[in-house]
Amino acid sequence: MRKCRSLVTLIGKLCADRIMERTQLQGPINATLFSPAQLQSIVLSNNQLNGSLDLGTNYGSQLLLVDLQNNSISEFAQGTGYSKELLLLGNPFCQKMPSSENCIVPQQPNSSYATPTENCVALSCNAQQLLSPNCNCANPITGILHFRSFSFSDFQNGSYYTLLQAAMMESFKSDQLPVDSISLSVPLKDAYDYLEVRLDVFPSGVYVFNRTGFSVITSQLNNVTFVKLPDAFGPFFFILNTDNYFTGSNKSSNTGIVIGAAVGGSVLMLLLLMAGVYAFHQRKKADQATELMNPFASWDQNKANGAAPQIKGVLSFSFEELKKCTNNFSEDNALGSGGYGTVYKGTLPTGVLVAIKRAKQGSLQGSHEFKTEIELLSRVHHKNLVSLLGFCYQLGEQMLVYEYIKNGTLTDCISGKSGFKLSWTKRLGIAIDSARANCKSC
């Protein structure tokens, strides 16, 4: 039942269709050509067949179509009893008989066939879904089957499609693919005389195929050895309708992913920015709180070990350190006292002598005032001024640690009590230097 490809075959074999378009066939047509009993159509258009056409009286009982368009047939002996389609447009005969029914533009022999679903109760599926032959609403894989060598002309004859449908379902089942049913519809001949049939493949047990099912089924439909079709159809190829399944939904989901990622990324960036600003403010608040609780926290708390001051020019001493180096602030270590409090002589672990001014009750300042005083004293340096070496701000104590002046007080020097006698010239020089230093520090 395959397409006949040679004139010998054309005459000698039984074929459902004889299609030899544009094959440069020449000469008159023998009436025996139309006689085979199973013959359904003869398509010999666009050749150089000539002479007088005579179908005879012995043409095949199943013959439905004789297409002899665009040949050189000059005569046609009507009245043979053949009443099915005979196309002679483009022959000299139609120039002589333009009104003949055989000379009009042929209708496309299409069919409105569709796999029946008449046993289904009235169901309305949503926009994405179709009603399957098994009465389920689902999203089918849809495409067009193209048959290039089909050998029948009776497109209205549903038995062909029933066979095709059964053969395809058999293949799906033998491959254990998740197919519930298939639907064939709207068979038509395209511009190349290929038969096109719409195919809908419905998923089994679900509304939509998953990605694996989709790819396996579409790849099988593109596999020429996948299905053994009824002979009347011959080989086929399948073109997927890319608008209504994963390809389309892929686009939207990919777009969704891109939009979602962009929005998510922006929100994340915004949150990170806000978290950064919040953390910065919290850190600032914490620093301020720490500063309030301990105004010396931001200074490098190098422990006093007798080394030279490193930060802000002063060292931070602990109460215990000063207590230890003054022999527990013993009376023996007291150098004197002023408005601020008692001054004790102390010896640092390195052997450096220091004078420690311990604030008495009533001389205690606020922490910030104490800190400001330390900062101020640490910046004042002059050969005639005692340098501040450090401080202590612990356990409610406020102490200033100065370099120790070994020659006693000015009174001691003037009176000679210290053993160091100042001449009047030296006294005047010291006074002038002190005045200058005071002016510089003002």
Binding site for ligand ATP (CB under 6 A): 335-340, 343, 355, 357, 386, 402, 404-405, 409
Q: CB neighbours of 12 closer than 8 A, spacing ≥ 6? A: none
The nearest distance, CB 343 to ligand ATP, in angstroms, is 4
Do 345 and 371 contact (CB within 8 A), yes or no?
no
The nearest distance, CB 373 to ligand ATP, in angstroms, is 11
Q: What is the DSSP string of 170-194?
A: HHHHHTT--EEEEEEEEEEE-TTS-
The nearest distance, CB 341 to ligand ATP, in angstroms, is 7
Nearer to ligand ATP, 18 or 358 (CB): 358
Nearer to ligand ATP, 232 or 377 (CB): 377
Nearer to ligand ATP, 151 or 342 (CB): 342
The nearest distance, CB 421 to ligand ATP, in angstroms, is 18
The nearest distance, CB 350 to ligand ATP, in angstroms, is 17
**Beta bridge partners of residue 200, listed in sequence order:** 142, 183
Do 308 and 388 contact (CB within 8 A), yes or no?
no
Q: Binding residue per annotation — 357?
A: yes
3-state secondary structure the chain: CCCCCCHHHHHHCCCCEEECCCCCCEECCCHHHHCCCCCCEEECCCCEEEEEECCCCCCCCCCCEEECCCCEEEEECCCCCCCCEEECCCCHHHHHCCCCHHHCCCCCCCCCCECCCCCCCCCCCCCCCEECCCCCEEECEEEEEEECCCCCCCCCCHHHHHHHHHHHHHHHHHCCCCEEEEEEEEEEECCCCCEEEEEEEEECCCCECCHHHHHHHHHHHCCCCCCCCCCCCCCEEEEECCCCCHHHHHHHHHHHHHHHHHHHHHHHHHHHHHHHHHHHHHHHHHHHHHHHHCCCCCCCCCECCCCCCCECCEEECCHHHHHHHCCCCCHHHEEEECCCEEEEEEECCCCCEEEEEEECCCCCCCHHHHHHHHHHHHHCCCCCCCCEEEEEEECCEEEEEEECCCCCCHHHHHHCCCCCCCCHHHHHHHHHHHHHHHHHHC
Nearer to ligand ATP, 194 or 340 (CB): 340
The nearest distance, CB 312 to ligand ATP, in angstroms, is 20
By beta carbon distance, the residue nearest ligand ATP is 338
Nearer to ligand ATP, 276 or 338 (CB): 338
Nearer to ligand ATP, 254 or 363 (CB): 363
The nearest distance, CB 270 to ligand ATP, in angstroms, is 58
The nearest distance, CB 353 to ligand ATP, in angstroms, is 8
Nearer to ligand ATP, 47 or 342 (CB): 342
Tokens of 170: 């058999």
The nearest distance, CB 286 to ligand ATP, in angstroms, is 37
Closest to 184 in 3D by CA, of 130, 222, 148: 130
The nearest distance, CB 412 to ligand ATP, in angstroms, is 8
Nearer to ligand ATP, 277 or 405 (CB): 405
Nearer to ligand ATP, 1 or 343 (CB): 343
Nearer to ligand ATP, 226 or 402 (CB): 402
CA 84/CA 99 separation, integer angstroms: 17
Bridge pairing between strands 388-394 and 315-316: parallel
Annotated binding site for ATP: 357
Annotated binding site: 357
